[in-house]
Amino acid sequence: MICLSPITIWASKQQDVLGTKHKSFKIRLANKYCWWFERLFIYWCSNIHSHRIRLFFYKKIYRINLEKDVVIYSGAEIRNPNGLHIGKGSIIGSNAILDARAGIDIGKNVNFSSNVSIWTLQHDYRDPDFACNPKHYGPVKICDRAWIGPNSIILRNVTIGEGAVVAAGSVVTHDIPPYEVWGGIPARYISKRPQNMRYEFKGTYCHFL
């Protein structure tokens, strides 16, 4: 999936108009640096000390699919905003890394603690060119009311079931069934979680964070 930032869209339109052989210096420059600009602008956005302004940029400029009452705390690094969906009432803790290049689908009333990382692409260390081969990328899905503990890492092609809990500092490499608690490196089954969860987050957030 390709991140369609405003700069990227502008550059592609200019290519269509001018043709490949007649690109101006500015067009070539935009093509070369658009991804860097994208990363820089969304980094700036993530450090705005106003929740409402951040959400405005995420929704209106970057076109992230955010449902009602979503909270994204400061410092989030989002790669490919178009590939990210966050369901109603979900909370993304501070300094999260959301690599949505292969797609991230977060359900309703999900809670991310601080410093959670999701990676949907990874290099193949056996490849002569250190490439990201098709077997080494895939989407991540977090189902409703899952809780992802602080400093956890979730890797490609993983589904976290409804109501599941990932303990702090875990590395998740396989699917986690609903209402189970997993932890460790790599994460393994610890215990069950009660299935009578009914809480709903209403979009309340700490100001200036």
Give mean pLDDT in consecutive 10-residue pieces for the chain, a chain of 209 residues: 47 49 61 74 91 94 95 95 96 97 97 98 87 87 98 97 98 98 98 96 90
Sole residue written with tokens 């410093």: 115
Can you give the pTM of this predicted structure? Answer: 0.83
Which domains does the chain show, CATH number per domain?
1-46 (no CATH), 51-192 (2.160.10.10)
Q: What DSSP element (H or E) covers 18?
A: helix 6-18
Beta bridge partners of 158: 140
Tokens of 130: 């250190």
- Would you state the pLDDT for residue 30? 64
The answer to whether residues 105 and 24 touch, using CB atoms and an 8 Å cutoff, is: no
Beta carbons within 8 Å of 47's beta carbon, 6+ residues apart? 74, 75
pLDDT at residue 23, as a whole number:
55
Contacts of 173 (CB under 8 A, 6+ apart): 155, 158, 186, 187
pLDDT at 29: 65
The whole-number pLDDT of residue 146 equals: 98
Among residues 146, 166, 139, which one has the least CA distance to residue 87?
146
Positions annotated as catalytic residues are: 123
Q: What per-residue confidence (pLDDT) applies to 133?
A: 80
